[in-house]
Structure 1
Amino acid sequence: MKYDDEVRARSYRFRDEYVASTPAWYRGELHLAFTLLFTGGVIAWCAMKLQAPTLAQWLAIVPIFLFGNWAEWAAHRYVLHRPTRLFSMIYKRHCAVHHRFFTHVTLEYKGQKHWRALLFPPFAPVAFVLAAVPFALAIGAVFTKNAGYIALMTMAAYYLMYEGLHTLSHITDSPLLDRMPFVGTVRRLHVTHHDPELMATQNFNLTFPICDTLFGTRSDAPREVRSPVEGRR
């Protein structure tokens, strides 16, 4: 298709420029390791702080998870895909880098330098957890300390889940992942989101498509997580 060929050509030109401009000190493995160690460390620290949590306290995960799903959808739709004065840098990083590097026909990543365009910047998990701390403190003050730790742990776990599913969604030509319940659906929906003509209107939930379904932004277009044309990279 002419449209796909044009999108693919533009994406590969941008990829070459972006990879060439990557600082020599950058290592994708360290980028990924920091994300995993920091969020995993927050989860482990919160778990160690818990003191005989009750079932009712564990059930706090449900409303926090649902709030996280809405926050994921709203931030993706209204911050990452709409230019605003306050969050212009985040918008540019997402649309002018991530969505130019990865399209519905160039979804794959190869080599550690590609992780720079795939993952959120290293400061993102730190900023996310710091932003969650006041809410966790408020929950801990109103209810119990256990509830506060569970809230922070849930938010950190949500971030980790997002990055994990996002990474899986950029692995191409994997029949195993395509057949996996839930993961296959997430991967299919994410391909549609990376179509340049649909990215600002469809599939803003990268994890569970709850808010996409509720607010009418879910698109189940029959797409596959495709590899690039043979002979290119």
Structure 2
Amino acid sequence: MKYEEDVRARSYKFRDEYVNATPWWYRGEMHLGFTLLFTGGVIVYCLMQLHAPTLTEWLAVIPLFLFGNWAEWAAHRYVLHRPTKYFSMIYKRHCAVHHRFFTHMTLEYKGHRHWRALLFPPFAPVAFVLAAVPFALMIGFVFSRNAGYIALFTMAAYFLMYEGLHTLSHFTDSPFLDRVPLVNTVRRLHATHHDPEVMATQNFNLTFPICDMLFGTRSDVPSSAREPLERGR
């Protein structure tokens, strides 16, 4: 189809320009390594601070997870896909870079230099954790010290889960991942989200599509719709 051919051509043209403009010193391995080490370090630190947490304190993970799912959906829909006065840089980075680099026809990435367009910038996990600290402190003050650390642990783990599932969604040649429950659903829905015609209206959850179902923004596609992705490689 002409639409698919045009989308693929524009994406590959932008890819060449973006990769050529990438600084010589950029290393995707270091980018990924920092994200894993920082968020993983926060998770380990929080777990080490726990002292005989009770079941009730651990159950706090559930509302925190649901809040994270809503925050993920809302930020993706209203910040990453809508120009705003205070978050224009984030919007441009997401729509003008990530969604031009990766479309539903060109989801694959090749080589570490593509990771610059795939992963959140290195400052993102730091900013996310710092933004979560006051919230965790409040929970720790109101409930218990353990609850505060569990809150921070949950939010850091959510960020890591988001990045992990997002990265897996851009593996386009893995029959194994296509058979893994949840992961195959995330991959399928994310492929639809990267269609330029629907990216601003559908599938804003990258993890569990809870809020997409609640707010009517989930758009499932049959497995046959992945065939263009195979031809696009």
TM-score scaled to structure 1, two decimals?
A: 0.97
Query: What is the CA–CA distance in structure 2 between the aligned matches of 1:229 and 1:141, rounded to whole Å?
Result: 53
Cα offset, 1:173, TM superposition: 1.8
Cα offset, 1:193, TM superposition: 0.1
Cα offset, 1:174, TM superposition: 1.1
Residue 167 of structure 1 aligns with which residue?
167
1:6 aligns with 2:10: no
Number of residue pairs matched by the alignment: 230
Secondary structure at the counterpart of residue 224 of structure 1: helix
Q: For the Cα contact (< 8 Å) 2:106–2:232, is it kept in 1?
A: no
Q: Which runs of 5+ in 1 are unaligned?
A: none
Cα offset, 1:221, TM superposition: 1.9
Residue 88 of structure 2 aligns with which residue?
88
Which structure 2 residues correspond to residues 125-164 of structure 1 after superposition, within 5 A?
125-164=125-164
Provide the identity percentage: 80
Residue 224 of structure 1 aligns with which residue?
226
Which structure 2 residues correspond to residues 1-233 of structure 1 after superposition, within 5 A?
1-222=1-222, 223-224=225-226, 226-227=229-230, 229=232
Secondary structure at the counterpart of residue 192 of structure 2: helix
Q: Which runs of 5+ in 2 are unaligned?
A: none
Instruction: Describe the shift of the 1:43–1:83 C-alpha distance in structure 2 as closer, same or farther (beyond 3 A).
Output: same
Cα deviations across residues 53-97 of structure 1 (Å, max 9, x unaligned)? 000000000000000000000000000000001000000000000
Query: What is the CA–CA distance in structure 2 between the aligned matches of 1:25 and 1:49, rounded to whole Å?
Result: 37
Query: What is the CA–CA distance in structure 2 between the aligned matches of 1:228 and 1:196, rounded to whole Å?
Result: 18
Query: What is the CA–CA distance in structure 1 between the aligned matches of 2:232 and 2:65, rounded to whole Å?
Result: 39
Query: What is the CA–CA distance in structure 2 between the aligned matches of 1:213 and 1:46, rounded to whole Å?
Result: 32
Query: What is the CA–CA distance in structure 1 between the aligned matches of 2:21 and 2:169, rounded to whole Å?
Result: 25
Instruction: Describe the shift of the 1:116–1:141 C-alpha distance in structure 2 as closer, same or farther (beyond 3 A).
Output: same
Q: For the Cα contact (< 8 Å) 2:193–2:202, is it kept in 1?
A: yes
RMSD, aligned CA: 0.9
Q: For the Cα contact (< 8 Å) 1:107–1:227, is it kept in 2?
A: no
Cα deviations across residues 119-139 of structure 1 (Å, max 9, x unaligned)? 000000000000000000000
